[in-house]
Amino acid sequence: MSKIELIPAIDIIEGRCVRLSQGDYARSKVYDASPVDMAKRYADCGVKRIHVVDLDGAKSSAPKNLKTLEKMALGASVDIEWGGGIKSEESLRALFDYGATYAIVGSIAAQQPQLFGEWLARFGGERMVLGADVRNGKVSVNGWQEDLAISIEELVEGFLPLGLRQVVCTDITRDGMLQGPSFELYTELQSRFGEVDFTVSGGISSMADIERLNELELRKVIIGKAIYENRITLKDIEQWSLNA
C-alpha cells in the first residue's frame, strides 16, 4: 500500500508567504522565506506537489500573484496546484500559461456548477481540482465569508459524471489551528467516493496526525502552518517522501 502523499502549502499575499488562522485575513502571520525559496526546499525534500493559495486573488476574484507563480514554476521542479480567485476561463488559462499543473476551483464550482462542469470537460479531471471548503458540513465560499446550504457530499456527487477526480477539502474550523484534522469527515468522504482522490486540509499539527491519516488509508494531505511553526520539519517531510 502506498503511503499518504504530503503536499506542503504556501499561502501568498503580495508575493510573500503568510499563514491565516481560520481564514481570517486580520490574523495573518508573514514568514521570512520567499515562495520561490520554499518551493525549491520542498522539491529538494522529494515532494512531488505543492499547494499554493493566492490570498490576494481569493479576495479580489482574480489571480494576483501570477509572476510569483511563474518564478516558482521555473525555479523548482515540482507540480503546483494553485487556487484563489479563479472565476473565469481567462484566469484559468492564465494559470496554466504561467506554470500551474493543477487549478483549484472553489466558489465558482459551488455557485456556478455548470461553468465548473464545462471546465472539467474542457481541461480534464487530471488538471481541475474541486476546492471544497467546509464549515459544519456545509460548503463555504468567497474566502470563507459566506456559507451555502449545499453539503460537501451533494457538491461532489454533482460533478462525478463530468469527470471529477480530485478534491481538496478544507475543514475551516480546523484550519491554521494546529489541533488535528477532522479524521471522521475525510474517512467518510473517501469511502463514499472511492474514485475521487480527496486531499485532507486543515488542522495538521504533527507527524502523528500524518501517521493516523495514513493508517486510515487516506491518499493526500496538505501541511501548512505546522511546517512554519516547526512542528513538522523539512527532514520529516524528506524521510516520509523518500520512503513513500
Calculate mean pLDDT across residues 6-28: 82
**pLDDT value of position 71:** 97
Residues 86-98: tens digit of each pLDDT? 999 999 999 999 9
Taking a C-beta distance cutoff of 8 angstroms, is the pair 200, 8 a contact?
A: no
**pLDDT value of position 32:** 66
- What beta strand segments (E) does the chain contain? 5-13, 16-21, 24-30, 49-54, 79-83, 102-105, 128-135, 138-141, 146-151, 166-171, 197-201, 220-223
Residue 98 sits at φ, ψ, to 5 deg, of: -85, 0
**Mean per-residue pLDDT over the chain, rounded:** 92
CATH of the domain at 216: 3.20.20.70
**pLDDT value of position 61:** 86
What is the number of domains present in the chain? 1
Is 11 one of the catalytic residues? yes
Q: How many CB atoms lie within 10 A of CB 21?
A: 14
Measured distance CA(198)–CA(209) in Å, rounded: 16
**pLDDT value of position 237:** 97
Taking a C-beta distance cutoff of 8 angstroms, is the pair 99, 69 a contact?
A: yes
Of the given ranges (21-35, 156-170, 196-210, 230-244), which has the lowest mean pLDDT? 21-35
pLDDT category of residue 244 using cuts at 50, 70 and 90 = confident
pLDDT at 21 over 80: no
Residues 25-78: tens digit of each pLDDT? 677 677 767 999 999 999 999 999 999 999 999 888 899 999 999 999 999 999
Residues 99-109: tens digit of each pLDDT? 999 999 998 99
The one catalytic residue among 133, 171, 175, 197: 133
> Cell numbers of 102, please?
493543477
**pLDDT value of position 229:** 87
Domain that residue 141 falls in: 5-242
Residues 142-195: tens digit of each pLDDT? 766 778 889 999 999 999 999 999 999 999 888 777 889 999 999 999 999 999
Which of 72, 12, 18 shows the shortest CA–CA distance to 40? Answer: 72
Which of 63, 52, 68 shows the shortest CA–CA distance to 88? Answer: 63
Measured distance CA(143)–CA(133) in Å, rounded: 9
Q: Which amino acid makes up residue 202?
A: G
Q: Which amino acid makes up residue 66?
A: L
Residue 192 sits at φ, ψ, to 5 deg, of: -75, -40
Provide the whole-model pTM: 0.93
Higher-confidence position of 14 and 144: 14
Taking a C-beta distance cutoff of 8 angstroms, is the pair 193, 219 a contact?
A: no
Listed in sequence order, the residues at least 6 apart from 88 whose beta carbon sits closer than 8 Å to its beta carbon are 62
Residue 103 sits at φ, ψ, to 5 deg, of: -115, 130
pLDDT at 112 over 80: yes
